Amino acid sequence: MARPVDINDLLKGKGNRNPQKGVKSNGKIVKSVTNVIKYKTKKEAGNGYGNLYNINGLKFDLSNASEDLKQNEKRNNENITSGNNSQSTKFNFLWNQKDDTLLEHNPITHIDADDLLRNNKETQSNKFNIENRYLGKHWRDKDYSEMTDRDWRVMEETFNISVKGSGYRYPLRDWMDTHIIPNDMVEIIKEKLNFETPTPIQRIAIPNICGKVGHSTKNDFMGIAETGSGKTFSFVLPILIKLSRSEFRPMSIKKMDGPKALILAPTRELAQQIQSEIEHFIQYWGGKSLEYTSVSIVGGYSIEELTFKISKGMDILVATPGRLIDCLESKLIVLNDIETLVLDEADKMIDLGFEEQLSTILSYVASYKSKDTVQTIMFSATMSPDIEKLTTSYLHKPIFAKVGSPKSAIERIEQIVRYSETEESTFDKIKELLYGFDSPIIIFINYKRTADWLYKKIQEETSFHATILHGSKSQDQREHSVKLLKSGKVQVMIATNVAARGIDIPNVSLVINFQIPSSFEDYIHRIGRTGRAGNSGTAVSFMGPEEDPALVKSLYKYVNTVTNIGEKRNSQSSIPNYFDEKLIDIYSLKVNNSFDSFATNNYMIKD
């Protein structure tokens, strides 16, 4: 049997191993490699070899070839006959070529390792240089000027950053990148605040909110990131940077024109937390700590108290929508000089029904300043249809940045749903849980009377100290409760849904739903107090025989779904969940064997 044809001969030509376009091979002009099968001699055609083709001297019978191949051959012959030298159209894949991280990538095989080592002495000092020449520098080791488009794409993939919008700026590699952040502020960030590197949302948000040094950005910004990812500092720092670039304003101007930046938050706790973070940074800012001021306007304070705070003037105003409208309608404050408007936790504002109030506030801002002169910034944990509508209505030339997956935070939370008939039996189980977790711990309840009862039980029957947070507490009492938990003076906070969202208490290891909330959304917000900022956490919920069947079914399906997601990850990061079999029986839920394997888990509570 004849030896098979060498593939190199087939592709490159038998007579010339490296035929190029326009170069003769065996007496014929080779137009391109893709058009190599296109020669049929008249003699062979006349002798009845109608399907015999000559490829640089090699003959092939295509009588059994597919019709597509024959049609391609026919088109090629027609192109030759008509003098059309253009190559056949290539298939276009439906992707954005800029997203391909292999663009501009030179594979390691383009360098001959033998030549590389031959030209470099094998010493310890140049091993690193040899490796870099052979494999290519990692983007972390490159100077900013050396970064290629591919390097930026790889970096964005590393931090799970997705960006859309015209003219967006590349993410920060470190705090010193491109000197967007002044040196004195970098020193505060690294030495006083101990932030060694930016979080992913900070990397992409800060340069796109600040814009280029010496220029103002005209792009609005929309950031999607999970709770506890560093979103607050993502807009607080750019606001302070922009203040440092602007001219000094005396107190009289601040009183007359109002703040430079307005930050809206859905809850008073979140608003005060933001203002506290601003003040915390400013206090380290040397002489500028006296130059820049911030004020928070929230419910729980009398008009006289608010008037006194506003009368001193401010550069940054942090407010809840309802209280700000009260002050605007009472002429206590003006917004003549707003340059930056921030809507933090925009999804929560929609949930709380603040959309109409937001429209009112934005109308006030528009009456003082044109839309092009105010940069609007929005942050949200999700991108719901309502949020999309909000961005369409209020954002101008927005840059959209998304960090991580919406499910990534929940996947780090171990969810346990247990059956309990009475409050007494639930408390007995909770006592066992408290001794198995580090503080701080949050226990959610539905009713204020339950909070008082549970507080007394914990104080009397355990060695833990507790505090209470609910809507009937005064503003001072609520602030005091949060400070007690953050400082470690108490280990347990008993709270209603007022603390389910908007309060950032670091390192919460355990969330307990003493009573299951009335809506599935509130359940998600509650357990979201743990597992923040990349940490893992545990959420234990107790349910009885008289719960809403629809809610129980939704919760069962959700916990089961998250369990299956966890099982797909590697065993070291997988977090199993548990749903009590008694609840499955009582509410006639479908049994899922994936829960059975949890029977020996350390967090199981004995009946």
The string of pLDDT tens digits covering residues 507-525 is 899 999 999 998 887 888 8
Using CA atoms, how far apart are residues 295 and 306, in angstroms rounded to an integer?
A: 9
CA distance 56 to 16: 9
* Per-residue confidence (pLDDT) for residue 15, from 0 to 100: 44
Average pLDDT for 324-349: 90
Q: Please report the pLDDT score of residue 376 as a whole number.
A: 93
Q: What is the band of 38 on the pLDDT scale with cuts at 50, 70, 90?
A: very low
Residue 583: band (very low, low, confident or very high) from pLDDT cuts 50, 70, 90: very high
CA angle centred on 70, ends 64 and 73, rounded to 5°: 135
User: Residue 319: what pLDDT?
Assistant: 94
Instruction: Supply the CATH classification number for the domain 408-600.
Output: 3.40.50.300
The pLDDT score that the predictor gives to residue 99 is: 57
Amino acid 241: pLDDT: 93
**pLDDT over threshold 80, residue 491:** yes
Environment class of residue 79 by beta-carbon count within 10 Å: exposed (0-12), middle (13-18) or buried (19+)?
middle
Q: Are 455 and 523 in contact (CB under 8 A)?
A: no
Q: Of residues 72 and 490, which shows the higher confidence score?
A: 490
Residue 402: pLDDT band with limits 50, 70, 90: very high
Q: What is the pLDDT of residues 361-380, one digit of tens each?
A: 988 888 877 667 889 999 98
**Lowest-confidence segment of 16-20, 349-353, 393-397, 503-507 by average pLDDT:** 16-20
pLDDT per position as a tens digit, 523-537: 888 888 888 766 789
Mean pLDDT of all residues in 241-268: 90
Name residue 343's beta-bridge partners. 264, 378
Question: Does residue 93 register a pLDDT over 50?
Answer: no
H-helix or E-strand spanning residue 411: helix 408-411
- Write out the two tokens for 462: 């355990």
Judged against a pLDDT cut of 60, whether residue 34 lies above it is answered with no
Fold classification of 174-403 (topology level): Rossmann fold (3.40.50)
Q: Which residue has the higher pLDDT, 447 or 504?
A: 447
Write down the pLDDT at residue 262.
96
The domain segmentation of the chain, as residue ranges, is: 7-82, 103-161, 174-403, 408-600
How confident is residue 41, by pLDDT bands cut at 50, 70 and 90? very low
Predicted pLDDT at 228: 75
**Average pLDDT, integer, range 577-591:** 85
| pLDDT, mean over the chain | 76
In three-state secondary structure terms, 386 is: helix
pLDDT reading at 445 higher than 90? yes
Residue 549 has pLDDT above 70, yes or no: yes
**Around 216, how many Cα atoms within 13 Å sit in the side-chain half-sphere?**
12
354: Cβ contacts below 8 Å, ≥ 6 apart: 266, 321, 322
pLDDT at position 2 is 57
Q: For residues 274 and 391, which has the higher predicted lDDT (pLDDT)?
A: 274
- What pLDDT does 172 receive? 92
Where does 435-580 have alpha helices with state H? 448-461, 475-487, 520-527, 549-568
Backbone angles phi, psi at 59, to 5 degrees: -100, 135
Determine contact, residues 317/263, Cβ cutoff 8 Å. Answer: yes
Choose the weakest-confidence range: 251-260, 275-284, 407-416. 407-416
Beta bridge partners of 415: 539
Q: Which residues of 266-298 are buried (b: 16+ CB within 10 A; e: fewer)?
A: bbbbbbbbbbebbeebbebbeeeeeebbbbbbb
Top-ranked range on mean pLDDT: pick from 63-72, 107-116, 348-357: 348-357
Question: Looking at 100-109, 280-289, 473-482, which range is the least confident one?
Answer: 100-109
Determine the pLDDT at residue 557.
86
Identity at 550, one-letter amino acid code: A
- pLDDT band at 482; cut points 50, 70, 90: confident
Query: In this predicted structure, what is the pLDDT of residue 178?
Result: 76
Domains 174-403 and 408-600 share a fold: yes
Query: In the predicted model, what is the mean pLDDT of residues 168-176?
Result: 91
Q: What is the mean pLDDT of residues 310-337?
A: 91
Amino acid identity at 310: I
- What integer pLDDT is reported at residue 429 of this predicted model? 94
- pLDDT band of residue 130 (cuts 50, 70, 90) is low
